[in-house]
Amino acid sequence: MFTGIIEAVGSITAIKHHAKDMTITVDSGDLDLSDVKLGDSISHNGVCLTVTRLEGNSYDVDISHETIKRSGFANIKNGFPVNLEKAMQVSSRFGGHIVSGHVDGVGEITSVTQVGSAIEYWIKAPDSLAKYIAEKGSISVDGISLTTNAIDGASFMLTIIPHTTSQTTMKHYQAGTLVNLEVDVVARYLERLLLGDKATNNHTEKESTMELLARSGFMG
The pLDDT, as a whole number, for residue 204 is 43
Domain identity same for 150 and 181: yes
Domain identity same for 113 and 155: yes
Q: Is residue 92 part of a domain?
A: no
Domain identity same for 181 and 112: yes
Q: Which helix (H) or strand (E) holds 75?
A: none
Secondary structure letter of residue 88 according to DSSP = P
Q: Which of 97-101, 145-149, 166-170, 215-219 has the lowest mean pLDDT?
A: 215-219
Domain identity same for 33 and 75: yes
Domain identity same for 82 and 111: no
Q: Per-residue pLDDT for 215 more than 80?
A: no
Phi and psi at residue 14, to the nearest 5°: -160, 145
Short-list 126, 16, 122, CA closest to 76: 16
Query: Do 155 and 124 touch, CB atoms closer than 8 A?
Result: yes
Residue 23 and residue 57: Cα distance in Å, rounded? 17
**CATH number of the domain encompassing residue 55:** 2.40.30.20
Domain identity same for 82 and 112: no
Number of domains in the chain: 2
Residue 128 and residue 20: Cα distance in Å, rounded? 26
Query: Do 52 and 40 touch, CB atoms closer than 8 A?
Result: no
Residue 155 pLDDT level (bands cut at 50, 70, 90): very high
Asked which of 54, 86, 118 is the last residue of a domain, the reply is 86
Q: Which domain holds residue 26?
A: 8-86
Q: Per-residue pLDDT for 55 more than 80?
A: yes
More confident residue, 184 or 8: 8
Query: Do 129 and 113 touch, CB atoms closer than 8 A?
Result: no
The pLDDT, as a whole number, for residue 146 is 95
The pLDDT, as a whole number, for residue 81 is 96
Chain centre to alpha carbon of residue 19: 26
Helix (H, G, I), strand (E, B) or coil at 156: strand
Residue 9 and residue 45: Cα distance in Å, rounded? 9
Q: What average pLDDT does the chain have?
A: 89
Q: Is residue 112 part of a domain?
A: yes
The pLDDT, as a whole number, for residue 212 is 53
Q: Is residue 213 part of a domain?
A: no
Q: Is residue 130 part of a domain?
A: yes
Q: Is residue 26 part of a domain?
A: yes
Give residue-wise pLDDT tens across range 76-125: 999 999 999 999 865 566 666 778 888 999 999 999 999 999 999 999 99
Q: Is residue 20 part of a domain?
A: yes
Domain identity same for 179 and 109: yes
Domain identity same for 116 and 172: yes
The pLDDT, as a whole number, for residue 185 is 82
Neighbours of 98 (CB within 10 A): 17
What percentage of the chain has pLDDT greater than the value 70?
87
More confident residue, 212 or 51: 51
